Structure 1
């Protein structure tokens, strides 16, 4: 397995989930999607299985047995190793302590907002705000459901952070659109 699989953002999600209790990859996939882990990393089945394989090869997780439910195939249950726990703590400590600039597609696009012209910019910002409002509402419902199901808040704190980012972006979109409408954000002639 290539070393770059260990650089996938999904590594933290898997190690963090296995910190709670051992699980098989399908359970990891289900739990991460349910809890909103797909906000922190793109989660698809193939990528998850590649990451699990890389983590096992690195000695960060290890098989702890198998289980079978009904007619489903036998599934290998993995647990976090001491080495994996140490790596999780090391990575988390560095990522939480050190802010890094993260360049999103939106940041790249908004850098050229002027190309849309004032009316086009306001229309695009308003459409984004509408879509973001819908996503915020869906994310709030999903977070409330997960918490109501008994998942500890600490295990979904990233969903709160993502909501805070979305709310801040929504406020910014509105303020920039207001500035354009008021003429205080001007376009070169």
Structure 2
């Protein structure tokens, strides 16, 4: 399983997460990812989607469940998540959510964090906060020591910037954790309400 997780790309992760919601064909995946603005996180083209779907199939993380054709549209193959795919999805998110040295992967893990239990997410984000706070303190101390020993602040401007970004990240994380912890916050794929808006989005993506 570790090998499958290591080979799983951010785009592959997001496709597996979609299939955890329901069986889908590739065109529906593309539409949903675009509707949800996932193109901010991964490159979305028909070529990359179909290539990634094929690779996930070879790895045993998804499986074809059938094909259909509606009207004059091209034939479409529907895919389902396998048990191995579901496990790889969870393991990838659990690995990337607390890590502070892979920011692009963290963004994807955060976007798909709702695939984990709320308590697990809160625990993993607590790990992340501890690591961020330690890095923040190290940056602050290093800058202060350098200035104390005669360095001019102008030579430490990048360190100052990184300190400010870390402080903002810690502050944002504290706010996000409180929001996730709140009992009124809907969490998890199984908790997602079948609202008219959600169902309409799914129906539009299928067409």
Which residue in 2 is equivalent to 1:90? Answer: 91
**Structure 1 residue runs of 4 or more that deviate by more than 3 Å after TM superposition:** none
CA distance in 1 between partners of 2:90 and 2:78 (Å): 22
String of CA shifts for 1:35-82, please: whole Å, max 9, x gaps.
Answer: 111122111110000100000000000001112121112111000000
Equivalent residue pairs, number = 106
> Residues 148-167 of structure 1 correspond to what in structure 2 (within 5 A)?
149-150=197-198
Q: Is the partner of 1:100 in helix, strand or coil?
A: coil
What is the Cα deviation at residue 101 of structure 1?
A: 4.3
Which residue in 2 is equivalent to 1:71? Answer: 72
CA distance in 1 between partners of 2:79 and 2:27 (Å): 11
Instruction: Name structure 1 gaps, 5 residues minimum.
Output: 104-113, 115-146, 152-189
What is the Cα deviation at residue 21 of structure 1?
A: 0.2
CA distance in 2 between partners of 1:29 and 1:14 (Å): 9
What's the C-alpha RMSD, in Å, of the aligned pairs?
A: 2.5
What is the Cα deviation at residue 150 of structure 1?
A: 2.5
Q: Is the partner of 1:83 in helix, strand or coil?
A: helix
What is the Cα deviation at residue 97 of structure 1?
A: 2.0
Q: Is the partner of 1:42 in helix, strand or coil?
A: coil
Pair 1:21–1:37, CA change in 2 (3 A):
same
Which residue in 1 is equivalent to 2:58? Answer: 57
CA distance in 1 between partners of 2:23 and 2:33 (Å): 14
CA distance in 1 between partners of 2:63 and 2:36 (Å): 24
Pair 1:77–1:102, CA change in 2 (3 A):
same
CA distance in 2 between partners of 1:90 and 1:47 (Å): 23
Instruction: Name structure 2 gaps, 5 residues minimum.
Output: 105-153, 155-194, 200-207
String of CA shifts for 1:121-163, please: whole Å, max 9, x gaps.
Answer: xxxxxxxxxxxxxxxxxxxxxxxxxx98227xxxxxxxxxxxx
String of CA shifts for 1:6-53, please: whole Å, max 9, x gaps.
Answer: 443201110111100010111100111111111221111100001000
- Is 1:26–2:42 an aligned residue pair? no
Pair 1:90–1:17, CA change in 2 (3 A):
same
